[in-house]
Amino acid sequence: MIKTAEFIMSNSEVAKCPKDTLPEYAFIGRSNVGKSSLINMLTDHKNLAKTSGRPGKTQLINHFLINKNWFLVDLPGYGYARVSKSSKKKFQRFITDYFEERQQLVLAFVLVDIRHEAQKIDLEFMEYMGENGIPFSIIFTKADKLKPKAIERNVAAYLQELLLTWEETPKYFVTSSSSAVGRDEVLNEIDKTNQQMNALNKN
């Protein structure tokens, strides 16, 4: 349950991210995957994350403090539609810097549009996460655009594709920002993880 959500800061350097030791949950995906809409749906704030018809709008690391006890981190999309090559390199670098240097990161959510078959760039990104030992779950977005049977079919096909390179598939969630499908499941996963960490820290 999210009671409070407040924007804390945006920047492009990991070294300048908040110094708090609070756990962080990062949200990332290809441009136009519906990330801002998902963040607004999860937090129940219409304009917490800026949504845009133009892909690649999030170009900074954005930190939102949730319930005063964890951070939701909104990261730039990878694979921009309209960003120059040199910018693309720079964005990719600070995305990888964040994942490799940020000690507070507990879990990443990689967003995937449920309407499409597995895209090379998403699979490569997940491979990068696996190679670097960064825990992540998949969030399938835009489930309201498909009928239930098509959702099942597409998710099954996606997981099948992953099993070609992965021993087991990561945890996944099916969501729709317009109907709040999957909201409780994603937030429960974060709550559960926070509780596990608290228990470990006490021991």
pLDDT digits 0-9 by tens, 77-107: 886 545 556 655 655 778 889 999 999 999 9
- Provide the whole-model pTM: 0.92
Residue for token digits 């490799």? 100
**Chain-centroid distance, C-alpha 126:** 12
At position 173, the amino acid (one-letter code) is F
Longest Cα–Cα distance in the chain: 49
Are the C-beta atoms of 80 and 56 separated by less than 8 Å?
Answer: yes
Cα 25 from chain centre: 8
| 8 Å CB contact between 31 and 79 | yes
Please tell me the predicted confidence (pLDDT) of residue 181: 96
User: What is the CATH class of 5-202?
Assistant: alpha beta
Token pair of 129 as six digits: 């996460």
Residues 6+ away with beta carbon under 8 Å from 89: none
83 SS3 class: coil
Give the tokens for residue 146.
């498909």
* pLDDT < 70 stretches in the chain: 51-58, 79-91, 203
- Give, as one character, the DSSP assignment of residue 54: S
In the prediction, which pLDDT does 137 show? 98
For the chain, what are the domain ranges? 5-202
